[in-house]
Amino acid sequence: MADSKPVEAQPEDAFWRLADNFINHANSLAANNDLGVVNASFIFASARFNTFVIASQCGTKEAFETEKAAALDYFVNQYKIALNEHMTEVQKNFDKYITPKA
């Protein structure tokens, strides 16, 4: 019998696990809150955390000020790409994802 090595988790595995955790948490909040409020707070929290990440990576106020515009462009572009991909997916499979209201 051949030795089997345990499969190491790949970085992208953590990405998908974390993304699913955030989505599941937002879905649980949406059960008792207005969808628009949950959505707005999710966007706000993401922006706040993104800003913290950039500031932490820059290390100084001056470096942060230098990188601010590039970081803004990067995050806006990444969000636009992801949003477009998800909208395309839902458009193709709308009836699978959305239950018509009675």
Q: What percent of the chain has pLDDT over 70?
A: 90
Determine the average pLDDT of the residues in 20-29: 97
State residue 22's pLDDT score.
Answer: 96
Global confidence as pTM: 0.78
User: Given a cut of 50, is residue 1 above it in pLDDT?
Assistant: no
The predicted pLDDT at position 4 comes to 54
Q: Domains in the chain, ordered, with CATH?
A: 19-97 (1.10.287.3020)
Q: 97, 90 in Cβ contact below 8 A?
A: yes
pLDDT digits (tens, 9 = 90+) for 26-53: 999 999 999 999 999 999 999 999 999 9
Buried b (16+ CB within 10 A) or exposed e, 62-98: eebeeeeeebeeebeeeeeeeeeeeeeeeeeeeeeee
